[in-house]
């Protein structure tokens, strides 16, 4: 049996009961259940492509997140939650904010956006181009970005807490930089992290990355490596991301979540969060 979970953004209006009844009729729901978070679970709904298309249209108009889920869907069915960092686990793109310290944010951001939309196919080339623009910047700018601009995405803390309580390990895998993933690992008690290392000489960025670049394939390889170490399959993982370079690791997973993502990502994932925080996904699981 399939259920439909409807979650209103905490900053948005409550669900109109009349509209909720209309969606119940559309999906031929056999019941409604209000969740403790304020989300609503429509029980035993019909799940067809045409119904999904209409639910998507109406929820998008009302800024409501939704998910079709099995009625026995449990968070503890999974063993690992893997997250992209920039614009997923945190609210910023770190390289763009570093560039801002150099007066180059617009130039770097344009490359970042084109890459995340999938318009620049070679992530390694894209990253090298952006990092090269940072040559000569004082490395203290990294700490300033972390201290002054880096914030966890809404819902990150309760999502992590629920995952840990359900027995899941956590992986932060990023095409960004170890300067930030290392600090987030300690701050958020993450189990695994993997990212790129910026080369620093005499306190200055050299405009180069040390070692192999963590691109889309690197992310997928990292997910596989952690799963192998844990003795689990990639189908036992949840992956959250927002950009095209997340798609390869998302293709391996049992549950892929596009978080405030580019259209190319939303079209290829099993679940989508467009409006709420990372903790929206907790509404999808039976307690």
Active site residues: 84, 86
Half-sphere exposure of 157 (CA within 13 A, CB side): 4
Half-sphere exposure of 275 (CA within 13 A, CB side): 18
User: Listing from the earlier edge strand, what are the strands of the sheet with 64-70?
Assistant: 31-34, 40-43, 2-8, 64-70
CB 59 within 8 A of CB 65: yes
For the chain, strand residue ranges (E) read: 2-8, 31-34, 40-43, 64-70, 80-83, 169-177, 192-201, 204-210, 237-241, 255-259, 271-273
**How far is 93 from 142, CA to CA, in rounded Å?**
12
Token couple for 23: 């969606």
């Amino acid at each position: 049996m399939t259920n439909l979970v409807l979650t209103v953004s905490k900053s948005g209006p409550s669900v109109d009961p009349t509209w909720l009844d209309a969606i119940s009729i559309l999906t031929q729901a056999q019941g409604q259940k209000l969740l403790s978070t304020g989300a609503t679970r429509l029980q035993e709904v019909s799940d067809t492509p045409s119904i999904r298309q209409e639910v998507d249209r109406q929820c998008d108009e009302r800024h409501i997140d939704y998910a079709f889920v099995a009625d026995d869907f449990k968070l503890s069915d999974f063993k690992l939650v893997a997250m992209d960092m920039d614009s997923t686990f945190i609210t910023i793109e770190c390289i763009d904010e570093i560039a801002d310290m150099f007066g180059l944010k617009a130039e770097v951001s344009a490359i970042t956006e084109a890459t995340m939309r999938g318009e620049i196919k070679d992530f390694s080339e894209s990253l090298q181009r952006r990092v090269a623009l940072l040559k000569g910047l004082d490395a203290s700018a990294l700490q300033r970005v972390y201290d002054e601009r880096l914030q966890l995405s809404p819902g990150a803390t309760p999502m992590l807490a629920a995952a840990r309580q359900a027995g899941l390990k956590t992986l932060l895998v990023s095409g960004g930089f170890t300067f930030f993933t290392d600090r987030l690992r300690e701050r958020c008690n993450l189990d695994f992290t993997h990212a790129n290392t910026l080369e620093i000489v005499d306190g200055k960025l050299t405009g180069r990355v040390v070692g192999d670049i963590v691109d889309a394939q690197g992310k997928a390889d990292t997910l596989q490596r952690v799963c192998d170490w844990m003795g689990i399959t990639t189908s036992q993982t949840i992956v959250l991301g927002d950009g095209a370079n997340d798609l390869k690791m998302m293709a391996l997973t049992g549950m892929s979540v596009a978080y405030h993502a580019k259209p190319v990502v939303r079209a290829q994932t099993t679940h989508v969060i467009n409006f709420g925080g990372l903790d929206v996904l907790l509404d999808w699981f039976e307690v």
